[in-house]
Amino acid sequence: MFKRATNHQEPAVQITVDGLPVTARRGDTVSAAILTAGCVEPYRYTAVNGTPRAPYCMMGVCFDCLVTIDGIGNRQGCLIPVSDGMVITRQNGKREIES
């Protein structure tokens, strides 16, 4: 959904999202990295009705950016900076709960 406006100099950071390798930049938040990667859509499914969602506010207000980071669920991806080797899993909402 997003692309980089400049060829900036920040070092690359390697993470995985649902097992796929994604290259982010130092200073990116987890949500920014996922929105730029493009390979993972939708960003998540809701726990209530299982509808697709993506980050809405990017400032910690809406909780539509929830992801599992290194095994810990329900984290606000828009507030957490990426770090090398981070393992991110998308939350599949309703399906996960009813499993």
> Which residue is associated with the tokens 């649902």?
18
Shortest distance, position 18 Cβ to other proteins, whole Å:
16
Q: Coil, strand or helix: which one is 10?
A: coil
Are the beta carbons of 82 and 11 closer than 8 angstroms?
A: no
Q: Does residue 60 touch ligand FES according to CB under 6 A?
A: yes
DSSP β-bridge partners for residue 56: none
**Which of positions 68-87 make contact with ligand FES (CB under 6 A)?**
76, 78
For the bound state, the minimum distance from the C-beta of residue 61 to ligand FES, rounded and expressed in Å, comes to: 5
Q: Min. distance of Cβ 59 from ligand FES in angstroms?
A: 6
